[in-house]
Amino acid sequence: MNKSQIRSQLLALLNRNDCSNELADTFIEQSVARIQRVLRVPAMEQSVQYTINAIAGDTLVLPSDFLNMKLLISQDTLLEYVDPQRFFSYPKTGAAASVYTRMQGALKLRPVPPAGTEVLMIYHGEIPDFTGDTSTTFLSEIAPDLLVYGALTYASDYFVDERKPLFEETYARVFAELQEQAYMAEMEQSSMRMASPYSTDY
């Protein structure tokens, strides 16, 4: 479904004559913001390749749409996240990076990789914005009802609508179904791998 169709369904279920398109769009935007705070599905995965240089050194600037890390790989090694306090106990020089930590809008690596080293980041990125009434996003295509019922919960707050518990119940059910699908997809991929050098248990 595109944005216009999402809005139309929202307005039809809300069934009020005092909700403008602009206000409905605000509820949709609030729904997207709520969903991406907690939803993590394969469609949200992004990747970026870094090449270490002498100027940036151990610093990798995070992408603007970064939500959370999935994998950070350097020289066929999965780097381990450590908290900043532990991070500074690791040596700054060495053969290859083994750990990383997050500081503000960047990642720091220890040991510092040599210049020219490539680092692959796989991360969960933000849900893309609608660019117009006819535009779609992966979420509006695979789970338009999640967007609609999320928006209805915000509309219920705005209009003090007693149907909010019903809208919230449907939202929670659809969210759980979508997250379960993502979990099953991960399990299926894991079962197809005979052996993997990487672990995501961190």
The pLDDT assigned to 54 comes to 74
User: Is residue 113 a contact partner of residue 52, using CB atoms and an 8 Å limit?
Assistant: yes
In the predicted model, residues of the chain with pLDDT beneath 70 are 56, 188-202
Output the CA torsion sign for 25, 30, 32, 35.
Answer: negative
Q: Which of 163, 130, 134 is nearest to 149 (CA)?
A: 163
Rounded distance, CA 36 to CA 46, Å?
Answer: 14
- The reply to whether omega before 113 is within 30° of 0 (cis) is no
In the predicted model, what is the mean pLDDT of the chain? 90
Task: Please state, in angstroms and as integers, the Cα–Cα distance from residue 29 to each residue in 7, 35, 154, following that order.
Answer: 11, 10, 10
Rounded distance, CA 188 to CA 174, Å?
Answer: 21
99-109: pLDDT as tens digits: 999 998 999 99
Rounded distance, CA 18 to CA 36, Å?
Answer: 28
Q: Is 140 helix (H, G, I), strand (E, B) or coil?
A: helix
**Per DSSP, which regions of 35-76 are E strands?**
45-51, 59-61, 66-74
The pLDDT assigned to 195 comes to 45
The residues facing 60 across adjacent strands are 107
Rounded distance, CA 96 to CA 71, Å?
Answer: 17
pTM tops 0.85, yes or no: no
Contacts of 183 (CB under 8 A, 6+ apart): none
Q: Domain coordinates of the chain in residue numbers?
A: 3-39+127-192, 44-124
